[in-house]
Amino acid sequence: VAAQEELRDKGVDPAIIDRMVEASPVMKQAQAVLSENMAMRTQAKVNDDIQSIIAFDPEIGSAADIMAQDNFEDVYRYAEATKISFADAYKIVNFDRIAAARAHAAEQGAINQAYSKGHLRASAGLATNDDSVEIPASQIEMWKEAFPDKSPAQLKKLYNAAMKTRG
């Protein structure tokens, strides 16, 4: 403000100086670099969100799959309204559907394992009263992701408890 007053006192309009600075090729180049940097960071965040969603939702394989979801606009609005990442909004909005799909997959895996002949394998000579089943290989990563602080034995116990409550 003091510099503007000094310019006015000397008969120079500060707006002219502002326009000259804005029109400067150096300033335009700096603004272009800043815009490009912002665009790159935004694209990187979008890519991170897409990869996070793909890892979370087995039905999603690409950005096109995400945009094709019936609730895409709901997810977008929720992310905007709550100022959270799109990936987090997607997980919240779709949590019930994905949890149900994972539970169904876990149940189907248990059924498949029960019908398999894996239970007929000879044991290593250890007699136990453990009638629990192993978590199917196709589901172990989901269980580890859902309960990262649990040991394999604890995961197995949780899995078997979930299977017993399902019938």
Q: Would you kindly state where each structural domain of the chain is located, as residue ranges? A: 2-93, 96-119+130-166
Compute the distance between CA of residue 19 and CA of residue 41 in angstroms, rounded to an integer: 29
Is the per-residue pLDDT at 143 higher than 90? no
**Stretch 68-74: mean pLDDT:** 93
Q: 89 falls in which pLDDT band (50, 70, 90)?
A: very high
Q: 131 falls in which pLDDT band (50, 70, 90)?
A: confident
Taking alpha carbons only, the member of 115, 116, 109, 112 closest to residue 135 is 109
Identity of the highest mean pLDDT range in 61-70, 94-103, 120-129, 136-145: 61-70
Is the per-residue pLDDT at 127 higher than 60? no
Taking alpha carbons only, the member of 77, 95, 97 closest to residue 86 is 77
